[in-house]
Structure 1
Amino acid sequence: MFQVDRPKNKLRRLEERKFSDLQLREREHLQEWLADMPEALGEELLVIQKEFDGFADTRERLDLLALDKDGQLVVIENKLDDSGRDVVWQAIKYAAYCSNLKKAEIIEIFQQYLDRYCDGGNASALICEFLDEVELDSVVLNPGNQQRVMFIAANFRKEVTSTVMWLLGHGIRAQCFRVVPYTFSEELFVDLQQIIPTPEAADFMIGMASKETEEKSAQGAQRRSHKLRLEFWERALDALREQGLSRYQNISPTKDHWLSSGTGVSGCVYSLIFGKDEARVELSLQRSSKVENKWIYDQLVSAQSAIDAAFGAEMDWRRMDDKKSSRIQFAKSFDGFNRESWPEMIRWLGVHIEKLEAAFAPPLSELNNRLKSGEAGK
């Protein structure tokens, strides 16, 4: 690894070091780095426990336990300068132990982690937010035998890499990450790279495994919530079309909890939300640029009183500074999974999506012209 000396237009070699020489420890340092920034492993992960030892009849403990965006459990095993010979066997044991964990147990494990290391928090809400689900009933955690394993070390022995390749060939998602410390003067750098499977091959190998899983999954029954959503949107769309809302003429029902339509401004959509406990209408600002989303929101919120008055009620305005998107929403409580509630829910959604569009159409049209002129970036 090199540092670029721009004034001299030269490369400076960083010195590759060993963790042991730097007196860096597995639990105190590498594990804490990854727990604090799991995205260093190349994807969004939610760490739900560290030093987990909640296995029956054994006191073994895994380094880090995480969830991926599909709700799968990920066992992360950290080593330092050498992977050792038995790391794969360790991780497979841990993955097998974790395969029996139920949703309630996973939530409790995460809650214990939050209480111990993060000054508390709501485990259920954070998991829903991470998985982009509205309610916990829609969340599926740790399905089947698809637990994943990740190995981190500076050097991997041949018996480890050979076994990991064999696991990949049998549809088990295993990855090796090479982590190497470097120093330059008093500065410490860490290079963390996925080496197995190579990034170029990873999508293909994961895609093949996902295809097989999808084909098996398609043969089974859909989850009750998906069936309900599909049936609800079929009824809702028929009603919206009868109401004369032309924007829904070419929209098809889905199993998602939301149904969106355009506003005339790229990346800004009106959405109907069908939840277990509520119905909701919202304007979602989800352009590719966070700066533009926040600019649009700030322009709209400056006229909040007038827009709320045009809508006929005070809406819930959410800038969401920690996220790229922003949204403005209005909700009402319903027993969504009770079909007897659907006619009233659908009428409510039809009335309020019209009000939402009427309230936001004029300011959005004006902002669209200002966006095209490049004002948002100024």
Structure 2
Amino acid sequence: MSSTRKRRVFPFTSVIGQEEMKLALLLNVIDPRIGGVMIMGDRGTGKSTTIRALADLLPAIEVVEGDPYNSSLEDPDLQSNDVRERIDSGSDIQKGEKQVPMIDLPLGATEDRLCGTIDIEKALSEGVRAFEPGLLAKANRGLLYVDEVNLLDDHLVDVLLDSAASGWNTVEREGISVRHPARFVLIGSGNPEEGELRPQLLDRFGMSVEVRTVREAKLRVQVVDQRTAFDNDPESFSDSVQEKQESLQQKVVDAQNILNEVFIEEDLRLRISAVCGELDVDGLRGDIVTNRAARALAAFEGRKEVTEEDIARVVSTALRHRLRKDPLEQVDSGDRVIKAFCKVFERNESDDVSEFELATAN
């Protein structure tokens, strides 16, 4: 891990509690194709702190020096058109290094601010495409965080989700078109009391987690003490957990490297789809995300084969937000997922709920 940091943020390994949220974030970093995380819950539960800590935890990325899109030196899918043209023509490309970008999307952002804008006057007068990159360009190869996503204009959410799914952003105006890579981990958060997200948009997020305020007095005191210690002396506090940070960072890098080698048996894939069928989940996103999340979890733990326990640990976060809501039903959607999982995998429900809770706390 680089010793020179541009920003001092609270260390990821020191975040107390919220294990389900931390695991979902790590799995999405290991495999961004999972599709991002929607975090719903109380205010002041450390959502923003944890996400910034995740960006700080990740190793620096190699970029093309001076490129506004954080273009990769090797992967064409992560390169802007300008960089690709320079490579094709044999021009000299300077290598740079950059902290993984973590971009905040403010609630009042316009579509031009998000997607970028084309300077029509310059294009017409000088005959050049003058494109001012937006937040999607800056977020390429990083994290894009939208707080209070349930209060964001629906058309902006549509743009975000489309870019997150395709990995590209296209801006078209007055016959001029600009396309650039926009591959990022989309993280949304919100408070259900302030409005629900439309089901068809919620379904587009790979995973969904619910965070609650810590009620236990000892844990609350521990959280306050740690935050106070960090605020008083960020350098010393960060140095004290540096070894843990480096260990977790290496674990994530190793998982990314072996992810494509992780195997999931056909019987387990069939059972995952059976759980989705039992829950009457629309479409196939639930099946795909559960498979990907289980593989990412196995890779995170250094294994190349998915187990039943891996599925147990991710199935609720992958499916709970895809269930049809019944306003008269008192059962939590996560409990419904666990019940269906136990039925399909032929496990004792009362035992399995406690095992599931223990698994998500690891």
**Which TM class, normalised by the smaller chain length?**
under 0.3
**More strand per residue:** 1
Q: Which has the higher contact order (CA 8 A, sep 6+)?
A: 2
Structure 1 or 2, whichever has the larger Rg, is 1
TM-score, normalised by the number of residues in structure 2: 0.23
TM-score, normalised by the number of residues in structure 1: 0.23
